[in-house]
Amino acid sequence: MLDLRQEVETAVNRRPVDIAPLSGGCVGQVYRVHLAGGETVVVKFDDGRAPKLGVEAMMLRYLKQHSPLPVPAVIYSADHLLIMEYLPGESRFSALAQAHAADLLAALHEVSVPVYGFEQDTLIGGLAQPNPWMNTWVDFFREHRLMSMATDAAALGRLPVSFLGRLENLCARLDEWLVEPARPSLLHGDVWTTNVLAAGDRITGFVDPAIYYGHPEVELAFTTLFGTFGEPFFSRYQEIRPLPPGFFETRRDIYNLYPLLVHVNLFGGGYVHTVESTLRRFGF
């Protein structure tokens, strides 16, 4: 068992004077740590057999270097220990804060590369997220989001094996509902309520990313699944990057199959029924 205090002091050469647990995050334990000298940092600590915090550090550094999205600076990283800048704020969003979030995500979605995927595999909620480069979005979403996550969930016994055939049938017809974007966009990948911080009417940071280059609509859909943002966000986002017709009526539910399968993989239970409802809605 590794000692958190000693690990932090060794990493930053400063003594922790107070450590308090924070909520959130599926990878490791999260703490707010006051250091000697007055600085406050956030520490993630994973003393399990296969720690993966180095991947999270890479994703934060990539967003910091390649996008305007406000994310915590990485102070120190190893697979078992991640020390980050402490960002003030809470996960409560006024209408103006939602509009600010729309500005930030619209700017993020302008960051592009020629193909879909990422330079390495990443994580979402601690789960493997494969990112091989592909030329078409629908093929990428079919193979490396829906079917990959569903196969993993079935292997864990959290998704009935019978669902795989139904998902394969839906995936075979994705071209009927989904459209290719003009170009790939950099995505945060996990924009739900506790991964966004605001102070007053301004967003102060996005945390716990699951980055890759994909279609912005999959990101936008996720913000509606658990009520992260509402009308003020979408009204502002569409002033900057208008959405083609059919997103709210059809494509949103297909895209939200991915985070639902992530939740099936992590928690099972009622999320299986929500996947079932979506499959039935589309005739599967």
The total number of residues written for the chain in this structure? 284
Domain 95-281 part of CATH 3.90.1310.10: no
d(CA 173, CA 256): 16
Q: Mean pLDDT across the stretch 247-261? A: 98
d(CA 189, CA 209): 6
pTM score: 0.95
Q: How far from chain centre, in Å, is Cα 93?
A: 18
pLDDT at 49: 85
Chain mean pLDDT for the chain: 95
- Band the pLDDT of 47: cuts 50, 70, 90: confident
d(CA 146, CA 255): 9
pLDDT for residue 26 is more than 70: no
pLDDT for residue 1 is more than 60: no
CATH superfamily of 4-85: Phosphorylase Kinase; domain 1 (3.30.200.20)
Looking up tokens 């993630």, which residue turns up? 44
- Band the pLDDT of 174: cuts 50, 70, 90: very high
pLDDT for residue 283 is more than 70: yes
pLDDT at 25: 59
Q: Mean pLDDT across the stretch 105-110? A: 98
d(CA 114, CA 272): 35
Q: Mean pLDDT across the stretch 9-34? A: 86
Domain range summary for the chain, segments of one domain joined by +: 4-85, 95-281
Q: Mean pLDDT across the stretch 57-66? A: 98
pLDDT for residue 274 is more than 70: yes
Q: Mean pLDDT across the stretch 115-139? A: 97
